[in-house]
Amino acid sequence: MTRRLFVRFRTVGRPLAWVVFAALCCPAFAEGTKLSDIPARAAALLEQLAVDADGNAASDAAARLLLESALFLDPNHPDSHAAFSEAGHARWIAQAVARVEVDDPRALTQRLLARPAAARELSYLLIDPSHDDLKRVFDLFIKLDEAFGPQLDEFPGLTAALCVVHDREIERRINENTVHATDPVALFRFYTANADQMLFGVRDVPGSLLVWVVDSTASIEEMAWALEEYQGDRAIGRRFFDIKYDYDHFLKGNAKKVTKAGFSLPNIRRYGGVCADQAYFAVAVGKAIGVPTTYTVGRGADVGHAWVGYFEQRGRNGGWNFNEGRYAAYQGVRGVVEHPQYGFAVDDSFVSVLAEAITLSPQKRYAAAGMVEAAALMEAVPDSDEAIASFARPSAGGDDETERRPVRGVSTADRLDLIKQGLMIDPGFAPGWMVVSNLAEQGRLDEAQKKQWAESVTRLCGDRYPDFAVTVLRPILASIDDPEQQSDLWDAAHRVFRARKDIAAEVRMLQGELWEQQGDLRKAAGFYEEVLRRYANDGPFVVQALARFEALLIEAGRPERITVLYREAFNVLDKPDRMAQQFAQQSNYYRVGSRLVQQLRSAGDARGADRVEKEIVGATGLRPAM
């Protein structure tokens, strides 16, 4: 079972109304200062936090800074990014200090201030700390600081990633074998000692990507072996197929050779294993050479396969590859992964969009997050001139009148505008998209706004992150009342996604379901038929399309067409390449062929059924499912 990340963008701690009330009344800011001084004011409140350890007061003060930035700073203002970045950092650190139970919060804050780069990256990963054990996070930060000191700021992403991943015990089951995480101090030493040998380095890689590196469950000795053997390997997915399949285990039920020899990376390569071991090997090797990787399993009860997802360089950018390290029968199957920081399963679409972080400076990433945080805070500000004006008190040498004039209000449209500004800076900041998606689900967007945001996610994410774009689009478009308009927007998305045939097929399935719900069976059948005609070999959707089409034919009183339908589909399906039988069993060829045999026998065509059955056995070694 997967969880949707960022169901709402949390303002952690006290209720929003209280936070905003406290920010309005915050005495520390009663006199006001220049808007351009917001970064310095954010730094000052953290210095005060190191003195009085009042996390709630510092968090409220930082909330005011975010609201000032949101209401009075134009996004094109030269100080805009710094203001949102530093005010956001101050708020996230203050919230964490307010919530964590430590003996000396002052000493903790002082230690964080002494390592500003590492603390900034850590605060970014703790925007919503509801799934983190803050005490263990900060205990590990202190432990790393005591062991490595200034190196924490040299490797801020690595530091932050280790702290948020290793705040819990990591244990994973690879079928009958159990693996555990390595000591995080040893991991820091390994990665920093070998920093120049890591494929993408570790000095400048964001923590949001490095969490998929430091969750290694191989021993340091195994990692050193993998680094020596595979340093610089840019095609980690292919290591999946380096591991020979243990057919004695699968066919005869014998204990796996690697389990008897001892489960380790060298032994997996020597003795082989099944798909779980193949995926684990590729994933572990990737982490050892500094490549973000994830162990992926098929989404759905009828999918029994594991494969590897990994980060790869694409020109000047990067992206996640979930296709190379898996068998052909599972291409197009969407996967789920265990999130290293949170410890629960999420859709692989949330991983793909993280690639955007590699192209951005830390300040831009933090600024985008600060804008989304500010938009959340704006919800509780009264929509009145008086309330907005209370954030613009002049000072003796302060801003001129032009600079104090509001650039936006606090309506839903204003909040959406600020979120949009943030996402234009960092399209990969998933919480921003999910805020909009959730607002649409709640009925808080008008039809024009829904259309605008559907077009925005398609434009900003559709080309590079189509799987994530579909995840965001589904609730937005489902909330549109007019089915014609909804279908037209899916058509627009389909044009963008057509290079990803599995995503294009998913869009057509969604349109078929839309028109089926509307009672227009002709239009629904048209979309299902397109999936059968154009995408039969591009993923599991052909099986779903056939099932829906079959139901429509029954409803239309034309059951005699069902056998013809399955025969036409079966004739265009590719036969599976040589593979283990349990994987061939998941292929479209086998599944559709089995259904065709059933239909032929039900229709009394025993000869035709025998002919198709013989063809299936010859291609897969399996008799059709009955």
Burial of 387 (0-12, 13-18, 19+ CB in 10 A): middle
Q: What is the mean pLDDT of residues 316-328?
A: 81
Residues 6+ apart with CB under 8 A from 420: 456
Q: What is the pLDDT of residue 606?
A: 94
Share of the chain above pLDDT 70, in %: 89
Q: How far apart are CA 418 and CA 66, in angstroms?
A: 12
Who has greater pLDDT, 16 or 604?
604
Contact 410, 378 (CB under 8 A): yes
Among the listed residues 415, 407, 425, 424, the one whose alpha carbon sits nearest the alpha carbon of residue 445: 415
Inter-axis angle of helices 116-125 and 156-165, to 10 degrees?
40
Residue of 250, 246, 284, 293 lying closest to 266 (CA atoms): 284
Task: State residue 248's pLDDT score.
Answer: 81
Kindly tell me if the per-residue pLDDT of 284 is higher than 80: yes
* Residue 326 pLDDT exceeds 80: no
Q: What's the pLDDT band for 27 if we cut at 50, 70, 90? A: very low
**Residue 155 pLDDT > 60, yes or no?**
yes
Q: Identify whether the C-beta of residue 588 lies closer than 8 Å to the C-beta of residue 302.
A: no
Q: What is the pairing mode between strands 345-347 and 171-174?
A: unpaired
What is the amino acid identity at position 7?
V
Query: What's the pLDDT at 17?
Result: 55
User: Distances from the Cα of 90 to the Cαs of 40, 103, 113, 219, 475, in angstroms?
Assistant: 11, 21, 11, 37, 33
Task: Name the 3-class secondary structure at 564.
Answer: helix
At 306 the pLDDT is 83
Provide mean pLDDT across the span 81-97. 96
Task: Tell me which residue has tokens 């649409």.
Answer: 440
**Residue 590, H or E segment:** helix 588-602
| pLDDT for 385 beyond 90 | no
Q: Is the separation of the CB atoms in 99 and 131 below 8 Å? A: no
* Extended strands (E) in 48-198: 171-174, 177-180
| Nearest-10 crossing angle of helices 80-99, 134-148 | 110
Residue 73 is classified by DSSP as -
For residue 304, what pLDDT is reported? 59
Please state the rounded mean pLDDT for residues 59-66: 94
Q: CA gyration radius for the chain?
A: 27
- At 285 the pLDDT is 98
Q: What is the mean pLDDT of residues 233-258?
A: 87
Tens-place pLDDT, residues 527-567: 999 999 999 988 888 999 999 999 999 998 999 899 999 99
pLDDT at 228 exceeding the cut of 90: yes
User: Is residue 295 predicted with pLDDT exceeding 80?
Assistant: yes
Q: Determine phi and psi for 127, rounding to 5 degrees.
A: -55, -45
**Alpha carbon of 588 to those of 271, 300, 304, 594: distances in Å?**
31, 15, 14, 10
Tokens of 402: 């032009």
**145 CB-near residues (< 8 Å, 6+ apart):** 111, 114, 115, 152
Q: H or E segment at 294?
A: strand 293-298
In the structure encoding, which two tokens stand for residue 378, read together?
């704006």
pLDDT for residue 579 is more than 70: no
Token readout for 473 is: 């689009």
The pLDDT confidence band at residue 118, using thresholds 50, 70 and 90, is very high
Q: Is the dihedral of CA 114, 118, 123, 124 positive or negative?
A: positive
pLDDT of residue 316: 77
Dihedral sign, CA of 604, 608, 614, 617?
A: negative
How many other β-carbons are positioned within 10 Å of the β-carbon of residue 598? 16
Distance CA 184, CA 532 (A): 50
Matching residue, tokens 């629904």: 524
Place of tokens 């599995």: 502
Q: Say how far apart CA 105 and CA 88 lie, in whole Å.
A: 20
Please give the pLDDT value at position 25. Answer: 55
CA-CA distance, 7 to 5, in Å (whole number)?
6
Q: Which residue type is seen at 363?
A: Q
What pLDDT does residue 301 have? Answer: 41
pLDDT at 335: 83
Q: 577 pLDDT exceeds 80?
A: no
Query: What six digits make up the tokens of 483?
Result: 């089915």
Highest mean pLDDT among 62-76, 157-171, 556-570: 157-171
Q: Is 175 helix (H, G, I), strand (E, B) or coil?
A: coil
pLDDT at res. 20: 54
* Positions of E strands within 326-399: 335-338, 345-347
> How far, in Å, CA of 207 to CA of 162, rounded?
9
What mean pLDDT comes out for the span 350-357? 91
Which residue type sits at 595? R
Share of the chain above pLDDT 90, in %: 70
Judged against a pLDDT cut of 70, whether residue 10 lies above it is answered with: no
Whole-number pLDDT of residue 1: 45
Residue 30 pLDDT > 50: no
State the Cα–Cα distance between residues 311 and 315, nearest whole angstrom: 13
Measured distance CA(9)–CA(127) in Å, rounded: 9
Distance separating the N- and C-terminal Cα atoms of the chain: 29
* pLDDT (0 to 100) of residue 48: 96
Per the CB < 8 A criterion, the answer to whether 433 and 423 are in contact is yes
> Could you tell me the sign of the dihedral formed by the alpha carbons of 22, 27, 32, 36, in that order?
negative
Residues 404, 392 contacting (CB under 8 angstroms): yes
Per-residue pLDDT at 392: 67
pLDDT tier for residue 454 given thresholds of 50, 70 and 90:
very high
Furthest-apart CA atoms within the chain: distance in Å: 96
State the pLDDT at residue 9.
47
The answer to whether residue 337 scores a pLDDT higher than 80 is yes
Q: Report the candidate in 250, 251, 253 with the shortest Cα–Cα distance to residue 278.
A: 250
The secondary structure of the chain in percent helix, strand, coil, rounded to multiples of 5, reads 60, 5, 30
Q: What is the mean pLDDT of the chain?
A: 88
CB of 334 within 8 A of CB of 299?
yes
Tokens of 547: 């099932």
d(CA 215, CA 286): 11
